[in-house]
Amino acid sequence: MRLPAILVLMLLMTQLLYAKNKPKHIDPWAVVDLKARLMPDAMTHSPDSIAKYVCDSFHTNSDKARAIFIWMAWNIDYDIDNMFAINFYEKKEDIIAKPLRQRKGICNNYAELFNDICNKAGIKCYVVIGYTRQNGFADYIPHAWCAAMIDTAWYLFDPTWGSGYCSEGRFHRQINEEYFKSSPWLFIRSHMPFDPMWEFLNYPVTNQEFYEGRTQLNTAKKFFDYADSIAVYEKADKLTQLNASADRITANGVKNAMIFDMLAHIKMDIANTKIEMENEKSKKEYDRQSKMVDIYNKASTRYSDGAMLFNQFIDYRNKLFTPLKTDAQIQAMIDTVVISFEEARISLGEVKDPPANIISMAEKLAEAIKEGVSQLDVQRKWLKDYFSRPRSSRKYAFYTNITTLRGR
């Protein structure tokens, strides 16, 4: 919802006057909120353009996160008609696109969009999936929210609950500060992630304790270094991440069907990831072997080129260097052979652990290159001797044995 420019200026002036007269009661986010709501409509149709406006308008991560949170709260309606149609496994691009296109969505739309804009604005952010507790009872459908690192600490954000509430079949827009930049110990009272790592607590609350409302700090529990676990998670491959998450979820207690379903999905994802990794491994090995064959073929071709050039030199020598060429042209005939053999040797050296079908060929090629270089050295020495003679006596240098090379 974009406010008319005149109205925005009037509101800003009113709030500034209010801040001047009553400094103890000013809203610390007043200026940020108004500037966020001033975002031009043309920049609100993609996460990239929203992130650009945010980065151009604000400097601290705290202000950026606030601007994203407020813009979404004022522009995205909760989609009551589809509140039970939660599908956390549809394409992320589609989940993000819907609220920007339709200006409405459910929790996973809010969370994924907030997460995407935050990351593009330079704020480390994750989507967290779990369930909630309201009015003393745990909900029976899953929920999604976000965790973002502001400066050096993790905070929790629920852009869905923070934008308003539902009553009598209608969505009522109302900013709820409780779900903006909330500390983990406050947030755990109402939000329980499936994976306890995303509680951001050194003494995580179990599912059973969450059901019973016992979320107070309990240092008698085993200490959990969530910061270290997240650091390990960020460096791990997908399969390691999934296995570790499944272990943590199981250890925290499979209390309800939502947790059971999440575990089942993770196990299916683990199985699919293993297949993908095996396929990727096979593809990489196929690509590697294909590359080795290509390198071998390049080496073989360069050797064959060198052998052909070498034989052309021998044939020219057999004809007593007729028709006449300059010394430089004759030397060039040998130099091109040197280059070809050297390139063949270097290329063949790049063939590592070749496929079985070219092992013997690679060995034979290595022998051929070695033999070719040996014969080439003989001719280079002969040519050096030839050039050192007076021209009148050079013809006597031709009366030596000559060997040709067989191309591959």
Residue 135 has pLDDT above 70, yes or no: yes
pLDDT at 26: 79
Summarize pLDDT for 85-104 with one digit per residue, the tens. Answer: 777 678 899 999 999 999 99
The pLDDT mean for the chain works out to 91
266-296 CB burial, b ≥16 within 10 A, e <16: beebbeebeeeeeeeeeeeeeeebeebbebb
Least confident of 16-20, 90-94, 143-147, 253-257: 16-20
Report the Cα 365 to chain-centroid distance in Å. Answer: 42
Neighbours of 343 (CB within 10 A): 17
Tell me how far apart the alpha carbons of residues 150 and 325 are, in angstroms, rounded to a whole number. Answer: 78
Please identify which residue in the block is written with the tokens 């089942």: 264
**Looking at per-residue confidence, does 18 or 44 come out higher?**
44
pLDDT at 167: 85
Least confident of 77-86, 202-211, 230-239: 77-86
Summarize pLDDT for 150-173 with one digit per residue, the tens. Answer: 999 999 999 999 999 888 888 999
Summarize pLDDT for 310-351 with one digit per residue, the tens. Answer: 999 999 999 999 999 999 999 999 999 999 999 999 999 999
pLDDT at 5: 47
Q: At what angle do helices 327-349 and 356-388 cross, to 10 degrees?
A: 160
pLDDT at 360: 92
Residue 16 has pLDDT above 50, yes or no: no
Please, which pLDDT band fits residue 7 given cuts at 50, 70 and 90?
very low
Residue 352 has pLDDT above 60, yes or no: yes
The pLDDT of 239-247, averaged and rounded, is 97
Strands (E), 98-244: 104-105, 125-134, 137-138, 143-150, 153-157, 164-167, 170-173, 191-193
Tell me how far apart the alpha carbons of residues 333 and 319 are, in angstroms, rounded to a whole number. Answer: 15
- Helix (H), strand (E) at residue 370: helix 356-388
pLDDT at 169: 83
Residue 6 has pLDDT above 60, yes or no: no
pLDDT at 89: 74
Alpha-carbon radius of gyration of the chain: 37
Residue 47 has pLDDT above 90, yes or no: yes
Contact 99, 105 (CB under 8 A): yes
Tell me how far CA of residue 219 lies from CA of 27, 190, 268, 366, in angstroms. 36, 20, 35, 69
Residue 122 has pLDDT above 80, yes or no: yes
* Token reading at 288: 């590697």
- Helix (H), strand (E) at residue 228: helix 226-235
Q: What is the percent of the chain with per-residue pLDDT over 90, rounded to a whole number?
A: 83
The pLDDT of 53-80, averaged and rounded, is 96
Closest CA to 34 of 83, 64, 71: 71
Please, which pLDDT band fits residue 406 given cuts at 50, 70 and 90?
low
pLDDT at 19: 47
Summarize pLDDT for 263-317 with one digit per residue, the tens. Answer: 999 999 999 999 999 999 999 999 999 999 999 999 999 999 999 999 999 999 9
